[in-house]
Amino acid sequence: MTTMLDSFSVDTGKRELLKLCKDVSGSQEIYAACFHGPRVYDHADEESNIDVLLVVREYRPKMAAFTEKTKDACLSIIAVDQQIFEGDVKQGDFGESVAEAIVFPYHSWINGDYLEEMEVRIKRRYALELLRNIVLKYPELSSELLIRPEYFMYEVLRRMTKLFPSLKPGFSSIFRKKARKRNISLIMRGFNRALAELEKDKYIVISDGYIRMDEKLIETTKNQRKKLTDIMTSVRKAVLPYTRSFFSKVMIGFLRNQRFSIRSSSQDTKWKLPKAIEDAERFLLAPTPLGPIPLSDKTSIEGFVRKTVPSGETFEIEIRKLGGVLNSVFLLDIQKRNKTQKVVVKRFEDWLGFKWLPLALWTVGTQSFAVLGDRRLQREYSVNQFLGRHGFRVPQILYMSIKERMIFEEFVEGEKLNDIIKRLIGSSSENATSLGEIIEDVGKEIAKAHTLGVSFGDCKPENILYTDERRICFLDLEQATRNGNKTWDLAEFLYYSGHYFPPLNSDSAAKVIARSFINGYQAAGGSKESVRLVASAKYTKVFSIFTMPHIILAMANICREMGTDRKR
């Protein structure tokens, strides 16, 4: 495809341009040069400047901007010392005010291999920084995300236009219908090479056109515990006294070259930034049975039903509230073709005010909980997906709308463990044995999860289900984390079980519960140290508010003995 740059005479114009550029560089070698800007984007008029970047060895002024005229065109020349240019590429020393020329479509003139190498280097840095920013924004969700390669291009553009809104007309010209496909291909060429390098270096895995982050990158980013440099924060360096004057000249020159773009945009209301730039998160996706869902999705309950019911098919829906003080939880009955599909809908509210205060006071100094709704939603989704892949029975997540803070998941039939424990408390010794076997299975499943690094965070019996298929199913995973407090899981299950006991009830059933649970936990490889710590005052004091002292004592004694290899 030809561009408006081709109207610049190859024979006469470039010879004259080379002479002008050598006048600019003086006795120093022009190491590399390229054309950039609207002429390369293929959206300019005959009066638009031809933008030229010169990379000069040991350039004395370090950086300079010139406007020169030839008989064919007006030239805007930026000359920069090679070391300064490379510093802008590698670290953003000058806010990418110079390196930006090779981020977007450019046309190599001198030493194209070098410019391509620099292009890949800056785009690798952008991609790696954006990946880390995803981890910081979605720490619980990042390991599950599928990322489309276009995300990096659109997110860089979004951040640049947010910082400099006046650049929007120029950037929008990149995506005009006439040259959109070509310009995107030119930009993505460097990003694709950069992503291939990151895969080779084991930062990411690329499969089926999607990118997944490696766990090591995720954990390293989480563990840094400090604010990582955002890809645009380096622009602030441009206002330092040393660079302020030059940067201003570059920006004024760039905006001057957008005159045609601005004039055209005022005449053409369709000429806007692509929606993908305004909402780059549409290229970050979470897998579900209905296909990958973009994080920008805003599906409502009605929208979910429309997605699950074939077009034209009649249906009826009934919504019932399932309760919950800290969350809104509903049971959705979808009746279609004489069949009923039950779906649990959870809306994750922020825990603020008096609803949250009792829970915070109850566990202060022992266990912390995620408070914000979006963080809890991330945990519910990511741990559910992780456990499901490892063979655990968890409710299948059918859909997720992170913007609406809603998760849609299957309704699992079964009996909750709190009801089983209540039956055990009042049962005969024969029934207690069979019910104890179920509790032993719970201990085994929790130990298996702990071995994988998962802690549940809210391991109350009412959040565990004994399904009709006789399997242990974990519900409400919104407080679950990787590498969390394993002892808390054990203490909460046991001591919270104790609050179902009537005040004057003996501790015999409590011993059956504790022994069955710990037997199962240790048989599946659970830590004896975690069992022993359950008996410490750090945990017993938390549950002493609503569990009778003799029940806590009976369970704590068994934990202490079984956690230290002593037999009763």
Q: What is the DSSP string of 473-489?
A: EE---TT-EET--HHHH
Confidence of residue 68 (pLDDT cuts 50, 70, 90): confident
384-395 per-position pLDDT tens digit: 999 999 999 999
- Apex CA 174: angle with CA 237 and CA 117, to 5°? 60
pLDDT at 411 over 50: yes
**Range 401-424 average pLDDT:** 93
514-526 pLDDT tens trace = 999 999 999 999 9
Q: What is the mean pLDDT of residues 279-303?
A: 91
Q: Which two tokens stand for residue 72?
A: 């064919």
Residue 212 has pLDDT above 60, yes or no: yes
Which amino acid would we find at residue 348? F
How do residues 459-473 score in pLDDT, each as one tens digit? 999 999 999 999 999
pLDDT of residue 63: 87
Higher model confidence: residue 16 or residue 543?
543
pLDDT value at 181 more than 50: yes
| pLDDT score of 273 | 67
Q: Is the pLDDT of residue 10 over 50?
A: no
- Dump pLDDT digits (tens) for 245-263: 444 444 444 444 443 344 4
Sign of the Cα torsion 11, 16, 19, 21 reads negative
Of 174, 178, 195, which is closest to residue 186 (Cα–Cα)? 174
Residue 333 has pLDDT above 60, yes or no: yes
% of the chain residues with pLDDT over 90: 50
SS3 (DSSP) at 536 = coil
Helix (H) or strand (E) holding 553: helix 549-562
Average pLDDT over residues 286-293: 91
pLDDT for position 229: 46
Separation between Cα atoms, residue 536 and residue 551, nearest integer Å = 15
Average pLDDT over residues 221-226: 74
pLDDT of residue 327: 64
| Banded pLDDT at 319 (limits 50, 70, 90) | confident
To the nearest 10 degrees (0 to 180), the angle between helices 112-137 and 150-163 is: 80
pLDDT of residue 364: 56
- SS3 string, 423-454, reads HHHCCCHHHHHHHHHHHHHHHHHHHHHHHCCE
In the numeric block, the tokens 């990158």 are attached to: 217
Give me the pLDDT at residue 120, please: 97
* Selected residue with higher pLDDT from 545 and 31: 31
Strand 472-474: give its sheet, edge to edge. Answer: 414-416, 464-467, 472-474
pLDDT, residue 114, reads: 97
Mean of per-residue pLDDT scores for the chain: 83
Of the pLDDT bands very low, low, confident and very high (cuts 50, 70, 90), residue 113 is very high
Mean pLDDT of 535-549: 89
In this model, does residue 351 exceed pLDDT 60? Answer: yes
Of 518, 455, 440, nearest in space to 486 by CA: 455
Whole-number pLDDT of residue 252: 41
Instruction: Look up residue 434 and give its amino acid.
Output: S
Beta bridge partners of 64: 79
Q: Please check the confidence at residue 361 and state whether its pLDDT lies above 70.
A: no
Residue 238 has pLDDT above 50, yes or no: no
Q: Return the CA Rg of the chain.
A: 31
Task: Say whether pLDDT at 183 is over 70.
Answer: yes
Q: From start to end of 10-154, where are the E strands?
A: 30-36, 50-56, 63-69, 74-81, 106-110, 146-147
More reliable by pLDDT, 37 or 186 = 186
